[in-house]
Structure 1
């Protein structure tokens, strides 16, 4: 298959830097939220209250240590999981406001090889990431009422984690997340072809954390995503899907359509699922539309009681 051309350098960075790590509804259905608000600005997001205090915890799982950061609270526990190549600091601008508005315990963490967490050799495996998250929550005493907030690649972790632990998860907010319906054989081939230059470039500096994760993800990408295409989300766990207007494929209209179509398909496949469109947003919805993300988390926390 010939590689498709993206329209500019910025779009190419978005595709190569996100799609392979992260990686869906064209015409939004009636279940979608057609809100037309512009990207959140400083004026539209309430001034942040005094910063909430988080406590770091280093937790061992299978011989490697993982850094978890806990902001104490009550009610459902909100777990913020960043996308490919990002660590817990990705959420730093949301934690204080989210804590002030929900009062919930909030947990962020660094996946293996990122932030303060130790690297694990070999290809990136979603089952290992699920095990790491489960071990961390267990060690922290979190046994119920988890709200998973998962951006981009973390959507894959959320899907497997929720399938394996439906009794632990009260709900999820999937923020421009990688979802199973996207990964047809054709789409997998398109992503691999488009990202090969980025993988080749990363191999020139494999010690950089993001490059290391890109390389390890590429090693297992095809079989992992063929399997992921078959995974279903439990009907007992509600989910809100926030899809960006520009998607990770900004500059490739066909792939952007497929990304939106996958999000819409995921929502139609089960009960208690809602589709929300982040108008004007790039793939970095938590940065472009933080107020929207916080609002949808608030709704999920309230529904969980």
Structure 2
């Protein structure tokens, strides 16, 4: 990385669970690594972590050990065989379901040493509108919100956007429509969300970043516990994913703190 260049920090988030969010995080990191970028996935679904499961990895340490045993974060990061790293969270640990203010700051502080070692930090959030989800969406520079054609996905995505806008004045979102049966279906789903935000939430900006088609190779990749882009790089979903990664390469880190403490905030605050 160039000196003084900030890593791009983005969340992969959703209002509804089960929309393929973690799978997209894993494959985005994979595609970025294939584009010669250094990516780290932070599994921010802290109590129900599954990035490691997606990859068939069983980490010995996770974020629980950072918060409760003072384990250095560099000892927790796991290198994968696919060219990207993961920072695993715990699964089934109730103490991780809601971070204290001190723990949130502890995590941000612990991540500082990575600022010159990575190009992209991908924050795979939980689903919904709980405090952890909201916090991580405030601490990033860009938000990649995952939709599917299911009506509940649409309504829950709107609910997440609404609370981030009305409570925290977050008004810019990148949208990926997953499991689309056609481009027309995906564009209709995006249009419905766009119209709802335009009608009820003044000043919200939505951008359709990508469309991932229904693809049996995705299921086969998941079943094999490998990124589907690795399982079959020529599959339609894999081609869509690499296009999304190439689009993200053109994103510029947001220099605006917008009133929220963010990852690598010290460099943001003190850079010339």
TM-score (norm 2): 0.42
- Provide the TM-score with structure 1 as the length reference: 0.38
